[in-house]
């Protein structure tokens, strides 16, 4: 079993819909949680960063961490075709020696 | 892209040959990383560096070596390429460690070993 599980998709939704992307993990020591966006043939770029539990909002994006369920989510409101990309979750703990543990990514397609 | 250049961008090489990938940064960030990305596996850390001549192994370091003789350059060498090393390789940099600061990624190098 992988430490971080993420549905590969693709997830296809109409423009304007609310998108929910999720990751589950097995290591209860994880404290740092990140969402990266990766466009085709490009490197990942950081979208959201959360420490420990709770919600964080940035524009149309909201990141949620539920440590009791070992579950993190990224919500995208008013989705746009430009949001079409692969979304990668990554997480780490203080004892991971600088190693981020990555999900395999969910491919998101926003249909105009 | 945040001042990171990977070269080459594409390479096809034969099994058993040595290959060196280069990552060059203009940000003067202390930390540099090499990842590989394969379908179904996400990103996996190969090696990382926390300063000039300071490097350490990541999750999938077998068959790879690295060197960092200058702050701006981090080289990844496949000593004797195998087909299992066909992948997309990403270099990343961060000002501090990746768990508490943003990591910036290069455009990637697509390597095919035939």
Give the tens place of pLDDT for each residue, B60-105.
Answer: 999 999 999 999 999 999 999 999 999 999 999 988 776 667 889 9
Q: What is the pLDDT of residue B19?
A: 97
- Three-class SS state of A95: helix
pLDDT band at A13 (very low <50, low <70, confident <90, very high): very high
- CA atoms A5, A57, A87, A36: torsion sign: negative
- Could you report the per-residue pLDDT of B90-102, keeping only the tens digit for each? 999 988 776 667 8
Q: What is the pLDDT of residue B17?
A: 97
Interface contact flag, B58 A46, Cβ < 8 Å: no
- Could you report the per-residue pLDDT of A14-63, keeping only the tens digit for each? 999 999 999 999 999 998 899 999 999 999 999 998 888 889 999 999 99
For the residues B27-43, what does the mean pLDDT come to?
92
Rounded to a whole number of angstroms, the distance from the CA of A107 to the nearest CA of chain B is 12
| Whether A17 contacts chain B with CB within 8 A | no
- Could you report the per-residue pLDDT of A60-103, keeping only the tens digit for each? 999 999 999 999 999 999 999 999 999 999 998 877 765 788 99
In the predicted structure, residue A1 carries a pLDDT above the cut 80 = no
Nearest to B49 by CA among B31, B65, B23, B66: B31
In the predicted structure, residue B37 carries a pLDDT above the cut 60 = yes
In which residue are the tokens 């430490």 written?
Answer: A3
A50 to each of A18, A54, A55, B76, B84, how far by Cα in Å? 21, 8, 8, 31, 34
CA dihedral angle for residue A36, residue A41, residue A42, residue A47, rounded to 10 degrees: -20
Q: What is the pLDDT of residue A107?
A: 96
Please tell me which of the candidates B40, B45, B58 has its beta carbon nearest to residue A104.
B40
Mean pLDDT of chain B: 93
By DSSP bridging, strand A32-38 and strand A45-51 are antiparallel
Backbone angles phi, psi at B55, to 5 degrees: -135, 160
In the predicted structure, residue B28 carries a pLDDT above the cut 60 = yes
Q: What is the pLDDT of residue A60?
A: 97
Q: How far apart are CA B46 and CA A86, in angstroms?
A: 22
Using a CB-CB cut-off of 8 Å, the residues of chain B touching A43 are: 1, 4, 90, 92, 104-108
Q: How far apart are CA B110 and CA B19, in angstroms?
A: 12
For the residues B6-23, what does the mean pLDDT come to?
97
In the predicted structure, residue B1 carries a pLDDT above the cut 60 = no
| Whether A46 contacts chain B with CB within 8 A | yes
CB B88 within 8 A of CB B110: yes
Please tell me which of the candidates A41, A88, A92 has its beta carbon nearest to residue B42.
A88
| Whether A99 contacts chain B with CB within 8 A | yes
CB B23 within 8 A of CB B42: no
Residue of A6, A10, A100, A104 best to disrupt the B interface, most CBs of B under 10 A: A100
In the predicted structure, residue B11 carries a pLDDT above the cut 60 = yes
Assign residue A53 a region (left: φ > 0; alpha: ψ between -120 and 50; beta: otherwise).
beta
Q: What is the pLDDT of residue B99?
A: 62
Written as one string, the DSSP assignment of B2-50 is -SEEEE-SEEEE-TT--EEEEEEESS--SEEEEEEEETTTEEEEEEEEE
Other C-beta atoms within 10 Å of B76: how many? Answer: 23
């Amino acid at each position: 079993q992988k430490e971080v599980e993420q549905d590969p998709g693709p997830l296809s939704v109409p423009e304007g819909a609310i998108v929910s992307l999720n990751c589950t993990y097995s290591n209860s020591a994880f404290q740092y949680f990140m969402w990266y966006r990766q466009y085709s043939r490009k490197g990942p770029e950081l979208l959201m960063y959360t420490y420990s539990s709770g919600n964080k909002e940035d524009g149309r994006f909201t990141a949620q961490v539920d440590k009791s369920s070992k579950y993190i989510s990224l919500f995208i409101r008013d989705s746009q075709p430009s949001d079409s990309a692969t979304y990668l979750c990554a997480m780490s703990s203080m004892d991971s020696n600088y190693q981020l543990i990555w999900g395999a990514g969910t491919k998101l397609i926003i249909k105009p | 892209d945040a001042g990171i250049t990977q070269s080459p961008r594409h390479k096809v090489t034969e099994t058993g040959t040595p290959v060196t990938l280069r990552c060059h940064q203009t940000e003067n960030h202390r930390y540099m990383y090499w990842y590989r990305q394969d379908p179904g596996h996400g990103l996996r850390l190969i090696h990382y560096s926390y300063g000039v001549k300071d490097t350490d192994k990541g999750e999938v370091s077998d068959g790879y070596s690295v060197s960092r003789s200058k702050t701006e350059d981090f080289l990844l060498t496949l000593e004797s390429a195998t087909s299992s090393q066909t992948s997309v390789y990403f270099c990343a940099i961060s000002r501090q460690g990746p768990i508490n600061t943003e990591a910036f990624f290069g455009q990637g190098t697509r390597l095919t070993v035939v």
